[in-house]
Amino acid sequence: MINLNFIYNEKAINIQCKREEYMKDIFKRYLKKINKDINDVFFIFNGNEINEELKLEEINNKNNEIKILVNDINDTIIENKEFFRQSKDIICPKCGEICLLNIKDYKIILNQCKNKHKRENILFDEYDNLQKINEINIICGECKKIKMKYIIIDYIYVVNAK
């Protein structure tokens, strides 16, 4: 038997399972205990959302005890706040594409992005604010999911680990 430790709202509930069980069946048993619907939550293991069509052994065939984070779908974007980080590249403040930086008369010029935007007369102390990226707006090019969901999951995981 494998012991799955579901963590939801900082409370842990253990469910014993067999490796050959489908995750959707395990989720149903867990959701019955917390009185939730499958459409209201999502499950995370090792930073990835769990596909309910997989068997437990396909997710983890090594450990006899596994922690799974459970989060409300409505909480994936915490109160619609903006989560900014500093860009590692020089980006256009209008479209977010990579651009060139020139300095003229102690002022910054951002230009030559792929959309041909140009922003001039930027003071040095304004530049940092123009180079911040709102993580909520980033969508994965492969799976088309919002990156922010996983950033918040990592944040929730750190909070729950304390």
pLDDT above 70 for 129 = yes
Residue 159: pLDDT band with limits 50, 70, 90? very low
Residues of the chain with CATH 3.10.20.90: 2-75
Average pLDDT, the chain: 82
User: CA neighbours within 13 Å on the CB side: how many for 113?
Assistant: 18
CATH class as words, domain 2-75: alpha beta
Residue 143: pLDDT band with limits 50, 70, 90? low
Q: Are the C-beta atoms of residues 119 and 102 closer than 8 Å to each other?
A: no
pLDDT above 90 for 100 = yes
DSSP-derived secondary structure letter, 88: S
Bridge partners (DSSP) listed for residue 6: 13, 68
pLDDT at 85: 80
Residue type at 24 in one-letter notation: K
Bridge partners (DSSP) listed for residue 85: 133
pLDDT at 78: 46
pLDDT above 90 for 157 = no
pTM above 0.95, yes or no: no
